Structures are given as structure tokens and as C-alpha cells.
């Protein structure tokens, strides 16, 4: 794995070209999003979704079946080293006759220091009502990590180096845990009636960073990703790739939501992530709000109708759904 030497220091991103938003670049972004992505206009998107009630397009299942919990891995705690049981909650559409369904794994935020899988329960239920199996997952956290403080430039010298390394470890641990969750669900696809060839991963903030890293950093550049943890799409609410040189043509398609004034995940890094993927021919979808400052799920809620419309179409296309 190249990752130990390639991970960009979280939040020393200004030195790597992913620092505070470049204000000169913000104004034209909204005008160029459609041209860059070739995305359909809102009217055309609406037309594609304006069917009679159909799965993946409208919430045809009024509620979800009783959720299930499962332990998907046991890993050493990042602080104590003691074994930690990592769990997930799985949501399925109620009274769904389909033999198999696509899967979305949702990863919570919290700066790699906090948060719980319950933070994405509402989102998971809503997407299950469209006909997906969805899962929210635990992953290992480091409550003493100072990722946010590093990003804000509050450290220097030896302290900066130590906190940067600690944050890097937390990011990679979260990525590996999420990849293990994908692998476990693929292995147990029959139990939940999952189509193992149609798996997406999404999240917000630290969860979006984790999802992006699952989609873009598990493979050696030029080689396909591991089959067990491969995903076919990434949905990122304020996400970014911090691993230098990891983006290549074998990566998963990515849909990026970001705001220009986001001080937790730099806008310039979010846009650089999708720009690099687009240049390599990887399908991307952008919901960019350069003159706003909301973060992750807050930004998602403010534009939910628009984002959901685009993301539903994105998944229909990238997962080759009927």
C-alpha cells in the first residue's frame, strides 16, 4: 500500500493546494458546473424522474422493515488497543418483493472524534423507501485527535507533525473499517437480498471523507480495487481526497456536495477531488454552492430536493438500475 507515504497532512492543505477557498475561483463555478459535468438541467432531471411511482425514483415504500443490527468486524481501539466490536444497522424496504436490491452504506461524520451511526438513520430510512437496502455503520474513532485544529493551522513544528500523523491514522482506520463493512455486506448479500454488483457508499463530513477514500484509495494506481470492498458510486456531503496521487481511472464515480465557505472541509479540496476524477474520465456529479457556507448534512438539508433529484439519477446511471 502506498498510503502511509502518500496521505496529505490533514489540514495543512494550504501547502498542498487544498487550503482555504480561493475566492477568485468561486464566482464562475456555478456557471461552469453543468458544462464540466455534462449534467442535465433541472427540468430535464425532473422529466427523467417524472414517472408513475417507480422504485429508485420515488419513495414507493411508505416505511421500512424493522431494522437489523449486526457486528461486521472487531478491530483494535485506536487509543487503548483493546478489541472493539464494530456494528451496523441495516434498513430494508417494507413488503418489497424484489429478489435483490442495490445497497448504500452511509458513514456518519464527527471529525473522526465522535458521532454515531444513528446520525444517518433518517437518511438511511429515506433511501430504503426508494427500494435500496441501506446500512449505517460504526467505525473506530480517536476522541483525542485534533484533526480540526490541524486544519485551522493552530499547531506548528513537532506538535503539528504528531497531530497530523494521529489524524492520518484516524482517517485510514475509518476508511479500512468502512471497506470492511462493504465486504461483510457483500459476503452476506443473500441474508439481506443485496445485489453484490450494485453497491454505493456515502456520508457527511468525516463520513464523506471516508466514503471518498473507500472509492478512490484502496487500489494501487493502475490496478482495479479489491473485489470484496469495491463500490460503484460515492455520495459525498462535504468530502475530499487527502491521499496524494491516489485518484486514477479505476476509481468509483463520485457525486460531490460542497459549499465555498466550508471551514471544516476546504471547498478547493472538494472541487479538486472531482476535477481530478473528471479529467480521467470518471463520471462525476456536482452540487456546488460557492457562495454558501453550510457544511455536510446541514448543506444537504438546505438543498435536499435538488440534491436528491440529482443523486437518484446518478445512482440509476452508475449502478445501471432499471
What is the rounded CA–CA span in Å between residue 270 and residue 295? 12
Q: What is the pLDDT of residue 9?
A: 38
Instruction: Tell me the CATH number at 135.
Output: 3.40.50.1820
Which pLDDT value is given to residue 44?
Answer: 72
Binned at pLDDT 50, 70 and 90, residue 14 comes out as very low
The stretch 150-173 carries a mean pLDDT of 93
To the nearest whole percent, how much of the chain has pLDDT over 70?
86
pLDDT tens digits, 64-89 = 999 999 999 999 999 999 999 999 99
Q: Enter the pTM of the model.
A: 0.88
* For residue 53, pLDDT beyond 90: no
Strands in the chain per DSSP E: 68-76, 83-91, 101-107, 133-137, 194-204, 233-237, 254-259, 284-289
Highest mean pLDDT among 2-16, 27-41, 294-308: 294-308
Q: Is pLDDT at 23 greater than 90 in this prediction?
A: no
Please tell me which residue, 44 or 203, carries the higher pLDDT value.
Answer: 203
**pLDDT above 50 for 283:** yes
pLDDT one-digit tens code per residue, 130-154:
999 999 999 999 999 999 898 888 9
pLDDT for position 222: 85
Q: Which residue has the higher pLDDT, 168 or 36?
A: 168
Q: CA 109, CA 90: separation in Å to the nearest integer?
A: 18
Confidence band of 270 (pLDDT split at 50, 70, 90): very high
pLDDT at position 155 over 90:
yes
Residue by residue, DSSP assigns 34-92 as HHHHTPPPHHHHHHHH-SSS-TTTS--SSSBPPPEEEEEEEEE-TTT--EEEEEEEEE-
Cell numbers given for 130: 426508494
- Write down the pLDDT at residue 50: 65
Region 275-296: mean pLDDT is 98
| 239 Cβ contact list (under 8 Å, min separation 6) | 203, 205, 208, 209, 211, 212, 256, 258, 265, 270, 273
pLDDT for res 48: 76
Average pLDDT, the chain: 88
How many whole angstroms separate alpha carbon 146 and alpha carbon 113?
A: 8
DSSP H helix total and E strand total for the chain: 13, 8
pLDDT for res 27: 27
Owning domain of residue 160: 3-318
Average pLDDT (259-276) is 96
Could you read off the pLDDT of 212-238 as tens digits, one per residue?
999 999 999 889 999 999 999 999 999
Average of per-residue pLDDT across 261-272: 96
Lowest mean pLDDT, pick from 29-38, 47-56, 215-224, 287-296: 29-38
Q: How many domains does the chain have?
A: 1
Kindly state the cell numbers that stand for 244. Answer: 496524494
Amino acid at each position: 500500500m502506498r498510503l502511509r507515504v502518500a496521505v496529505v497532512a490533514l489540514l495543512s492543505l494550504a501547502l498542498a493546494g487544498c487550503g482555504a477557498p480561493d475566492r477568485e475561483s468561486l464566482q464562475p463555478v456555478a456557471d461552469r458546473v453543468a458544462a464540466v459535468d455534462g449534467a442535465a438541467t433541472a427540468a430535464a432531471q425532473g422529466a427523467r424522474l417524472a414517472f408513475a411511482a417507480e422504485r429508485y425514483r420515488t419513495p414507493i415504500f411508505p416505511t421500512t422493515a424493522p431494522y437489523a443490527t449486526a457486528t461486521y468486524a472487531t478491530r483494535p481501539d485506536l487509543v487503548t488497543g483493546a478489541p472493539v466490536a464494530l456494528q451496523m444497522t441495516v434498513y430494508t424496504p417494507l413488503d418489497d418483493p424484489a429478489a435483490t436490491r442495490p445497497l448504500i452504506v452511509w458513514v456518519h461524520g464527527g471529525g473522526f472524534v465522535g458521532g454515531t451511526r444513528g446520525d444517518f438513520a433518517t437518511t438511511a430510512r429515506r433511501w430504503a423507501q426508494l427500494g435500496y437496502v441501506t446500512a449505517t455503520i460504526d467505525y473506530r474513532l480517536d476522541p483525542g485527535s485534533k484533526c480540526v485544529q490541524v486544519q485551522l493551522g493552530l499547531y506548528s513544528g513537532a506538535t503539528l507533525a504528531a497531530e497530523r500523523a494521529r489524524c492520518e491514522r484516524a482517517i485510514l482506520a475509518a476508511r479500512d473499517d468502512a471497506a470492511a463493512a462493504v465486504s461483510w455486506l457483500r459476503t452476506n448479500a443473500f441474508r439481506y437480498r443485496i445485489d453484490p454488483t450494485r453497491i454505493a457508499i456515502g456520508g457527511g463530513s468525516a463520513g464523506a471523507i471516508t466514503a471518498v477514500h473507500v472509492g478512490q484509495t484502496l487500489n494501487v494506481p493502475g490496478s482495479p480495487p479489491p473485489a470484496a470492498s469495491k463500490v460503484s458510486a460515492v455520495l459525498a456531503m462535504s468530502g475530499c481526497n487527502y491521499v496524494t496521487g491516489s485518484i486514477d481511472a479505476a476509481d468509483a464515480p463520485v457525486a460531490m456536495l460542497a459549499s465555498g465557505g466550508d471551514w471544516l472541509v476546504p471547498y478547493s479540496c472538494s472541487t479538486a477531488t472531482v476535477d481530478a476524477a473528471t479529467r480521467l474520465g470518471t463520471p462525476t456529479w456536482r452540487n456546488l454552492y460557492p457562495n454558501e457556507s453550510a457544511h455536510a448534512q446541514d448543506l444537504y438539508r438546505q438543498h435536499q430536493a435538488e440534491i436528491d433529484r440529482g443523486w437518484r439519477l446518478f445512482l440509476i446511471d452508475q449502478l445501471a438500475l432499471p
